[in-house]
Structure 1
Amino acid sequence: MLRGREGDPIWARPALAILLVVAALLYGWGLGASGWANSFYSAAAQAGSTSWKAWFFGSFDAANFITVDKTPGALWVAGLSVRLFGLNPWSILVPQALEGVATVALLYAVVRRWFGPGAALLSGAVLATTPVATLMFRYNNPDALLMLALVAGAYAIVRAVEDARSGWLVLAGACVGFGFLTKMLQALLVLPAFALTYLMFAPTPVGRRVRQLLLGGAAMVASAGWWVAIVELTPARLRPYVGGSTDDNVLQLALGYNGFGRLTGNEIAGFDGRRLGFDGPGWGRMFDATTGGQIAWLLPAALVLCVAGFVLAGRSAAAPTQAGRWRAAYVLWSGWLVVTALVLSLMHGIFHPYYTLALAPAVAALAGMGVHTLWRLRCDRAGSRLLAAVVAGTAAWSWVLLDRSAAFQPWLRAVVVVTGLLAAAALAWSARPARHDRRSTAVLPALAAAAALVAVLAGPAAYSLQTVAAPRSGPLVSAGPVMPGIRGGRGGGIDGPWPDVGIRGGGRTTGAISMARLLADRAPDPRVRALLTRDAGAYTWVVATIGSRGAATYQLATGRPAMAVGGFSGTDPTPTLAQFQRDVAAKRIHYFIADPFARVLAGTRPSDSARIADWVQHNYPATTTDGVTIYDLSR
């Protein structure tokens, strides 16, 4: 028999087990259907599984020409998985699913400490069914490991606030530092919430709190800085080029392309969401047509509940110590939510809807904590009416989100609204003076609570199930059903007309090509694969192509290194034309493939990649196989 902690109700541990099994099914069911998912990171995992040097530096290719444009934390996990279980979609994607289940379990543990198992289960259920969480915990982007690290940091902060022990702050700093090694400066968005919570609520003098926070900051710098220091101190000739940087410098990558460049829009590389049709920055970005269905289902409710819970904590808590801890939790998670939401909403640089996974733990925690606080005041008119208003408002907002994909389960909108309004009415009525026997007055709130759960979770759960049912692949993915407007990767949740773009590939115009077709990963034709693997052992790179998209598919298909000229989007200043010519003369590169998609990303400005493509086109004969233009550099 499953047993929970002392004092827990008998249902607590079995309910947690069910929650984790449901999360495992959501994140793990049918993973193989997505193939390589994001082939960019899959290729890097393949490289790391065959070269420890590539594994350590996060190289895109086993020949260590260039790294991916992120720190390698997530690739360390994926590379080890591929080493253990071989190269296949499951070995690459299962780690993300396990990280997702662990994140749900950790969030449960955080909320459980101060609010009990009921609130913790609700928080876990909200996180598990958030569409963007279902998407990214099934996908091999770094975001899954980042969320696990940051929620672990939140757990450490909660423990530190309880007894002011420095060790927990050191652990929190180390978790954020590892988050930096996973996705750079995005990990630091939680720091204001962590620091403010400890400064306000730790049971120790203010001076000691400051010293302890400095110690936690030192732990963060050390846990992230050791890898940065090794990269910076290693001579450039002995390591791969730092992808995404303009000067082969990991600090420039962290502060530029993956840092302040995201805020200002002054990136050198990567997808420009506005060129691809996404909405620009603004206060409503988290609620707009392309982002709302990913994260916003309970976002308005979370904002209301964090304010109400903080204000009403004293009335709802059983003791002053408990009330103080509850307020600390509201500061922690509301700070996480507000800072992250503001940055994502107002950033002028690259933005993808799946970035909103960073909000999911905070939304889930505030939902569980806030409902718990108001539920304890359900016999009070103000508490019950506020809870009823939150349920009714969330159901109405779910109608709006579901209506944006009107063809998707059209009956669901009516069910959600009707159930939500009935549940809200029952919650408000339950606060009236009892006119019936005790059993009837106990049954009504329980039925109302069950109906409220159905109303607020049915929409995001339906989007999550659709995400599980439709395979995803490519660099641009979204959760849920097809939306009018913009297309994501294969199986993505946004669709619509793309502008046709005239593209030059290898010096010749290929004509107007559908952006949607270009974004989808496409395995090379068997004839192309057979050509690339011919005499592959005699060359360092079997093929070179501008950008990582094509290089990733060729590398995964052949199992041999492919050179991504110019890095991720073909804009990195490596190799120079002279360096490329030396590699060709030394017989280190066998073929060159002209990829028109890379010219879309790079734009029209001159670059080393463009000069290389033009040089190859003017000096080597071209053949076409399955619509792919191939240049044999050995001739």
Structure 2
Amino acid sequence: MDGSWPLSEKPAASAIHSSSPGGPQPVPIGRGHGGVVTSATAAPHAATEPPVPSSPAPAAPRWSRPALLAILALAAGLYCWNLSGSGLNSFYSAAVLSGTESWKAWFFGSLDAGNFLTVDKPPFALMVMGLSCRLFGYGTWQMMLPLIAAALATIWILHASVRRVWGHGAATVAALVLALTPITVAINRDNNPDTLLVFLMVAGAALGLRAVRTGRLLPLLGSAVCFGLAFNTKMLQGYIALPAVFLVYVCATDLGWTKRVRNLALAAVALAVSSFWWAAAVSLVPASERPYIGGSTDGTAWDLITGYNGLGRIFGGEGNMGGGGGGGGGGFSGAAGIGRMFNDVLGGQISWLLPFAGIAFVGGLVLCGRAPRTDLTRAALVLWGGWTVLHYVTFALAEGTMHPYYTTALAPGIAALCGGGGVMLLRAFRSDRRWVWVLPLALGVTGVWAVVLLRRASGWNTWLWPAVAVVMALAIAGLLLFRSGRRARLLAVSVAAAVVAAVAGPAAYAWSVPSGSGGGMGGTNPTAGPSTGGGMGGPGGGAGGPGGGGGRGGFPGGAGGEAPGGQPGGGQVGPGAGSLPDGADAGELPDDAGTGEQPGGADAGELPGGGAGGFGGGPGGGGMGGGGMGGASTELVAYLKKHQDGAKWLLAVSSSQSAAQLVLDSGEPVISMWGWSGSDNAMTLARLKELVGKGELHYVQVGGAGMGGGGLGGGSGVASEVTRWVQEHGTAVEASAYGDTSQSTSDDGADNTSSVYRLDPADVE
């Protein structure tokens, strides 16, 4: 690589030849289908000039492959270091365990192996993790292996896609930015489905761009299948970037309209089949022979698609937590609004390079000028810029549940724009005096914003923000000083310094996750970096894994016998631990979190699990650390297993998080009657009587704050009816029967005892 073109291979000589003596040099901005496109060839008068001959692609510089391998190794270290000690999401851990014990549970995504209720997501991510655990045994590493592989593959695919358009330097920057995005590191160490979702969407986008570049049908079909599988990972979120791919294919491919329409029709068929095969299969199974679909209002997959995992995420309702005050929106990420990505909760997770990406996107489009319709550089800009804009607007304005880790889907678009758009700005900076100010401005804004974010974390790495400010200022000065002349090496050093200053803040946040030096939590609501802002840290903290004292001992293949969720009790909290969403008073949850009672039956002012007033989880009770979601004592679990008497389910509890922890600790199926949000209608009195009458269920927990919080459901009439019937017909299990000597009252004298009732077929009238 010629030192005069840092961050990119040297363009062909014909691309940098001046269009007129003494005039400004054309700015090389990328490659079209016919060769390198420049600001001169993209201008209106370009048609009168001789065509630019195609030149062979330059050989890869010697540093390119080692740089990519180093970035992949860095990412692998961030994703894997101390992984066994990280708290996973017990909700998904339990579903994966159930899938290893029942193929039916594996297919439906059931929370329990008895197949009473599914999780509130489609099962594709659970299927992938479940197959890994069936092959290698159940444990943290076995569960996370396919997700970590997908995370690394995402970096590789993005690098390859950016390299084909902008060159090796741009691809290296894009890969580095993606690898060091804080929230991406946090979620890639967790068993939530977002890691697989991002991999599938990036693969779909890259294949779509390849279809534009080659004109072939197969990459377009592959793109459609990837987005369809993304849909089966998190439903409508998997479609957010799809309009950008569609727009680019329609506008930028050099195929005629007939072939374009034909190819898009075939791709639509592939998308429909790969998206709806699971929902269609569920519909073909009678409701009596399949589990209730968690998150739905009627037990069907179609309702889950359109409601809880569809429009409910955008407008709130449908079981989604809404309104935190201010502009409303999911309280986990602050109030909804166009500036949400920059608030105290999300700013340090995703926004470090958003300003630079935005400037690079707009600047790149201007540099493309009036390039041919099929210009590949502009197509790539529209694709990754559209990806970023669509995700930004969706997440910023979402009124439903909005966890910080959702924003990891923004990272690939930001990374691609920083790499590709950044190289375009650098070339323009060197070649055209009219563009001298743009790159320094973009870097200056990036440096200032990094300082703002670092200063938000009071007392955390206080040396870092002055270092970032000084290095960025020196880098910008070096760019301006060494822009012209034969001081290319010094210019390259300045560019490298600017890159280091830009990624130093996100790198520090990212490193805090495996090192445990931040305040973010794992499991239910993983975040990176120190605790800042007013978001609430997820229901109860989510310890996540099987194991803990009183569990099933070591799991096959686990690291040192340790099962997922090695942090007992999930004592970590999310951003702003102990504080509330904007506008919420102390002791309140965000609006619409429940009617009368909160999910899982906790009274107003409590989280599921009985944590009055505060947010985040403390150590779980007994030996079954529930991450604050409520834990039963090991004595009670042993008692229930001893007196299970052949029942299919060990116990019925109010919420999915409570049931999940019990599934992991007991190894037995446990019924979640009201789902994750407490709004599922899975259990009715008739259904309960049926289960008790058949001897499939003997124990039901109601009241108090023990196993996941208190009463049943969200205060609905059905829940009250079930509660009354259990109390009237069941026999309460006294604590002395299983030797529980824990306190039954809180410091203020309130009764926190959960009541477990025994029901037998004779109790059913």
Greater mean deviation of Cα atoms: 500-509 or 161-170: 500-509
Greater mean deviation of Cα atoms: 596-605 or 50-59: 596-605
CA distance in 1, matches of 2:434, 2:734: 75
TM-score by length of 2: 0.77
Give the corresponding residue for 1:422: 474
Question: Would the alpha carbon gap of residues 178 and 503 (structure 1) be closer, same or farther in structure 2, given more than 3 Å must change?
Answer: closer
Cα deviation code 1:549-572 (max 9, x no counterpart): 110110000111110111222211
Cα deviation code 1:87-134 (max 9, x no counterpart): 222222333222111111111111111112211111010001001100
Q: Secondary structure at the match of 1:593?
A: strand
Question: Would the alpha carbon gap of residues 539 and 602 (structure 1) be closer, same or farther in structure 2, given more than 3 Å must change?
Answer: closer
Q: Secondary structure at the match of 2:174?
A: helix
Q: Deviation of residue 521 (structure 1)?
A: 5.0
CA distance in 2, matches of 1:30, 1:271: 35
Give the corresponding residue for 1:353: 404
Match of 2:155 among 104, 115, 119: 104
Q: Secondary structure at the match of 2:734?
A: strand
Contact kept, 8 Å, 1:507 with 1:613, in 2: the verdict is no
Q: Deviation of residue 399 (structure 1)?
A: 0.8
User: Aligned runs of 1:84-483 on 2, under 5 Å?
Assistant: 84-268=135-319, 276=331, 278-313=333-368, 324-380=375-431, 381-432=433-484, 434=485, 438=486, 441-470=487-516, 472-483=521-532
Q: Deviation of residue 153 (structure 1)?
A: 0.5
CA distance in 2, matches of 1:623, 1:472: 36
Question: Would the alpha carbon gap of residues 374 and 451 (structure 1) be closer, same or farther in structure 2, given more than 3 Å must change?
Answer: same
Contact kept, 8 Å, 1:622 with 1:629, in 2: the verdict is no
Q: How many residues align?
A: 621
Q: Deviation of residue 142 (structure 1)?
A: 0.9
CA distance in 2, matches of 1:259, 1:600: 29
Q: Secondary structure at the match of 1:75?
A: helix
- Aligned amino acid, residue 169 of structure 1: L
Contact kept, 8 Å, 1:385 with 1:427, in 2: the verdict is no
Give the corresponding residue for 1:613: 723
Q: Deviation of residue 80 (structure 1)?
A: 1.1
CA distance in 2, matches of 1:163, 1:560: 53
Question: Would the alpha carbon gap of residues 465 and 607 (structure 1) be closer, same or farther in structure 2, given more than 3 Å must change?
Answer: farther
- Aligned amino acid, residue 454 of structure 2: L
Give the corresponding residue for 2:666: 558
Q: Deviation of residue 607 (structure 1)?
A: 4.4
Question: Would the alpha carbon gap of residues 205 and 25 (structure 1) be closer, same or farther in structure 2, given more than 3 Å must change?
Answer: same
Q: Deviation of residue 453 (structure 1)?
A: 1.1
Q: Secondary structure at the match of 2:183?
A: helix
Greater mean deviation of Cα atoms: 104-113 or 4-13: 4-13
Contact kept, 8 Å, 2:209 with 2:245, in 1: the verdict is no
Q: Deviation of residue 491 (structure 1)?
A: 4.7
Q: Percent identity?
A: 40
Match of 2:587 among 493, 500, 521: 500
Q: Secondary structure at the match of 1:55?
A: helix
Q: Secondary structure at the match of 2:447?
A: helix
Give the corresponding residue for 2:750: none
CA distance in 1, matches of 2:341, 2:105: 37
CA distance in 2, matches of 1:157, 1:19: 25
Q: Secondary structure at the match of 1:101?
A: helix
RMSD: 2.7
Q: Identify unmatched segments of 5+ residues in structure 2.
A: 1-8, 10-56, 542-571, 581-585, 589-595, 605-609, 619-626, 745-752, 761-765
Contact kept, 8 Å, 2:330 with 2:336, in 1: the verdict is no
Greater mean deviation of Cα atoms: 336-345 or 321-330: 321-330
Greater mean deviation of Cα atoms: 226-235 or 497-506: 497-506
Cα deviation code 1:131-165 (max 9, x no counterpart): 11001111111111010100100111111011211
CA distance in 1, matches of 2:423, 2:86: 38
CA distance in 2, matches of 1:506, 1:307: 50
Match of 2:83 among 15, 20, 31: 31
2:690 corresponds to 1:590: no
2:739 corresponds to 1:629: no
CA distance in 2, matches of 1:9, 1:204: 33
Contact kept, 8 Å, 2:294 with 2:675, in 1: the verdict is yes
Question: Would the alpha carbon gap of residues 461 and 511 (structure 1) be closer, same or farther in structure 2, given more than 3 Å must change?
Answer: closer
Give the corresponding residue for 2:634: 526
Cα deviation code 1:221-265 (max 9, x no counterpart): 011222221111111112111111111111111011110111111
Question: Would the alpha carbon gap of residues 571 and 456 (structure 1) be closer, same or farther in structure 2, given more than 3 Å must change?
Answer: same
CA distance in 2, matches of 1:608, 1:136: 37
Cα deviation code 1:350-404 (max 9, x no counterpart): 1111111111110011100011112223323343431111111101000111111
- Aligned amino acid, residue 507 of structure 2: A
Contact kept, 8 Å, 1:377 with 1:383, in 2: the verdict is yes
CA distance in 2, matches of 1:286, 1:63: 41
Contact kept, 8 Å, 2:674 with 2:682, in 1: the verdict is yes
Q: Secondary structure at the match of 2:681?
A: coil
- Aligned amino acid, residue 398 of structure 2: M
CA distance in 2, matches of 1:415, 1:288: 23
| Structure in which a larger fraction of residues adopt helix | 1
Question: Would the alpha carbon gap of residues 524 and 466 (structure 1) be closer, same or farther in structure 2, given more than 3 Å must change?
Answer: farther
- Aligned amino acid, residue 587 of structure 2: D
Q: Secondary structure at the match of 2:437?
A: helix
TM-score by length of 1: 0.92
Greater mean deviation of Cα atoms: 480-489 or 296-305: 480-489
Contact kept, 8 Å, 2:533 with 2:575, in 1: the verdict is no
Greater mean deviation of Cα atoms: 519-528 or 555-564: 519-528
Q: Deviation of residue 414 (structure 1)?
A: 0.6
Greater mean deviation of Cα atoms: 404-413 or 88-97: 88-97
CA distance in 2, matches of 1:423, 1:322: 36
Question: Would the alpha carbon gap of residues 216 and 363 (structure 1) be closer, same or farther in structure 2, given more than 3 Å must change?
Answer: same
Cα deviation code 1:499-549 (max 9, x no counterpart): 336979889997945342376456643323322332447111111100111
CA distance in 1, matches of 2:144, 2:447: 34
Larger radius of gyration between Structure 1 and Structure 2? 2
CA distance in 2, matches of 1:508, 1:400: 39
CA distance in 2, matches of 1:258, 1:503: 23
Q: Deviation of residue 492 (structure 1)?
A: 2.9
Greater mean deviation of Cα atoms: 545-554 or 526-535: 526-535
CA distance in 2, matches of 1:71, 1:167: 26
Q: Secondary structure at the match of 1:517?
A: coil
Q: Secondary structure at the match of 2:429?
A: coil
CA distance in 1, matches of 2:478, 2:640: 67
CA distance in 2, matches of 1:486, 1:309: 35
Q: Deviation of residue 485 (structure 1)?
A: 2.6
